[in-house]
Amino acid sequence: MTATARLYGGSLYELAAEEGLTDVLMQQAEEVRTLFQENPDYVKLLMEPSIPKKERTDLIETAFGAEAERYLVNFLKLLCEKGIIGEYSGCCQEFVRRYNADHNIAEAVVTSAVALSEEQMKALQDKLEKISGKQIHLIQVRDASVIGGLRVELEGKQLDGTVQGRMSGLSRKMKELVV
């Protein structure tokens, strides 16, 4: 995340907090980010310098003006006018980071070879909430190289319960014994 994204995303969060709109803007900002990820050509169009700024901001108004909170629409227009609409995803990351900090929420990325069931995800979430003392938002990632077990990243710490992690740990212990 760039300094620009931190600055603008933080400013949007502060405005949302002052206006009591953090929950609404959080949801809508994530929806817009998903739309931008699914439609990269639209973002390229908004960044195209050969198109006048007024036309590009009108495109934002047409797309989001009737649906999104006015502060978010104006924020998108501002990023477009400044030529930094490509920083939007980073702005959202900063918004989410600030939101989570204020609401005692931590994101945990759980990596497994196969998709976990809802019951498994709930059990893992409950366990992590008990350990951390925070509300946990789980993000599931599938990686076939994990083979078996789980790897969880939470607040900069990695909890590795994968087969590969266990094997690496055994290998290190064996090397220590041999030396």
Q: What CATH number does the domain containing 82 carry?
A: 1.10.520.20
Least trusted range by pLDDT, from 9-13, 23-27, 114-118: 114-118
Question: In this structure, are 77 and 112 located in the same domain?
Answer: no
The pLDDT score that the predictor gives to residue 70 is 95
Q: Could you tell me if 95 and 10 lie in one domain? A: yes
Same domain? For 153 and 92 the reply is no
User: Do 118 and 44 share a structural domain?
Assistant: no
Q: Is pLDDT above 70 for 9?
A: yes
> 164 and 91 in one domain?
no
Boundary residue ending a domain (50, 85, 100): 100
State the pLDDT at residue 8. Answer: 94
Q: Which of 63, 82, 100 is the last residue of a domain?
A: 100
Are 35 and 90 in the same domain?
A: yes
Q: Clarify whether residues 9 and 96 are in a common domain.
A: yes
109 φ, ψ (degrees, to nearest 5): -100, 120
Please state whether 155 falls in left (phi above 0), alpha (psi between -120 and 50) or beta.
left
Regarding whether 92 and 10 lie in a shared domain, the answer is yes
Q: Note the pLDDT tens digit of each residue in 65-119.
A: 899 999 999 999 999 999 999 999 999 999 999 999 999 999 899 988 888 899 9
Q: Are residues 12 and 44 in the same domain?
A: yes
Closest CA to 74 of 118, 120, 16: 16
- Of all helices (H) and strands (E), which one includes residue 76? helix 70-81
Q: Cα separation of 131 and 122, whole Å?
A: 14
For the cut 80, the answer to whether the pLDDT of residue 170 exceeds it is no
Give the SS3 label for residue 42: helix
Return the H-helix or E-strand segment holding 135.
strand 135-142
How many structural domains comprise the chain? 2
Q: Output the pLDDT for position 171.
A: 67
Supply the DSSP symbol for 147. Answer: -
Angle at which helices 70-81 and 3-19 cross, to 10°: 160
> What pLDDT, on a 0 to 100 scale, did the predictor assign at position 178?
66
Instruction: Give the count of beta carbons closer than 10 Å to the beta carbon of residue 41.
Output: 7
68: amino acid identity, one letter: A
Q: Domain check: are 8 and 91 in the same one?
A: yes
Residue 161, domain extent = 104-178
